[in-house]
Copies of this chain bind each other. A is one copy, B any other.
């Protein structure tokens, strides 16, 4: 198996209201079977999922957390507004979003934006991934699988990697339950988070810093069978429990 991974060059600086898919199609040719990864920050900006810090009135809680974390209380207020469930407030805000993703500062991003704008995660990234997929089909006739990516820290390991926060046209998890190993024994490790593996490598292709590329195409990837339960539920998530019980 050979897969070609292509970073889409030449996409101009995106502003709220831009038709991202239209711009993408002017810079790259997508084909049926492709997996397209799109940086959620750039997609969110085009869709207008932004806040202007000078318009934000921080609550008492945001002031307190801002002081504890060394962050602008108005920025923290946006983080709290985006959080469905705050897990810890310090030394950084870690929270669960309504769509299930758990991230530091609720994924609110203040890099690569002008003035005092911050970008929030798309409120319904599954719907947005489906929207991109449908727009691509309408514009090009190509049946493209879509992943919206974010960058995120990890437990135990330094540095960020790309993760999937929305996807369409494929299951998130390749489910091996019921399949056997080379010796016919049923596998114990049964779930592979494939959309995160694509998002991770897409993040390398995108780069950070001032040379960012917001879209990456994977060409030649096979299908897989599985499901979309990418997030632990609260009862089985031992890490969330450990964080909640932590005395900070």
Residue of B nearest to A196 (CB): B161
Beta-carbon contact of A112 and B183 below 8 Å: yes
> Which residues of B are found within 8 Å of A210, using beta-carbon distances?
179-182
Beta-carbon contact of A155 and B193 below 8 Å: no
Per-residue interface assignment for chain A, residues 187 to 226, with 1 indicating a CB less than 8 Å from any chain B CB and 0 otherwise: 1110111101110110111001110110000000100000
- Provide the bound-state CA to CA distance between A159 and B236, in Å: 13
- Provide the bound-state CA to CA distance between A185 and B161, in Å: 21
The verdict on A146 contacting chain B, using a C-beta distance below 8 Å, is no
The verdict on A46 contacting chain B, using a C-beta distance below 8 Å, is no
Beta-carbon contact of B245 and A182 below 8 Å: no
- Provide the bound-state CA to CA distance between A203 and B200, in Å: 11
Given A196-B159, A197-B162, A231-B158, residue A246 in contact with residue B240 (CB < 8 A):
no
> Which residues of B are found within 8 Å of A6, using beta-carbon distances?
1-2
The verdict on A173 contacting chain B, using a C-beta distance below 8 Å, is yes
Interface residues of A in 1-34 (CB under 8 A from B): 1-7, 9, 13
The verdict on A55 contacting chain B, using a C-beta distance below 8 Å, is no
Beta-carbon contact of A156 and B110 below 8 Å: no
> Which residues of B are found within 8 Å of A91, using beta-carbon distances?
238
The verdict on A126 contacting chain B, using a C-beta distance below 8 Å, is no
The verdict on A176 contacting chain B, using a C-beta distance below 8 Å, is yes
Beta-carbon contact of B1 and A159 below 8 Å: no
> Which residues of B are found within 8 Å of A112, using beta-carbon distances?
181-183
- A-B pairs with beta carbons under 8 Å apart, 17 shown: A1-B6, A1-B7, A1-B9, A111-B187, A154-B154, A157-B196, A158-B173, A159-B193, A159-B196, A160-B191, A161-B200, A176-B208, A176-B209, A180-B210, A181-B210, A197-B200, A245-B245
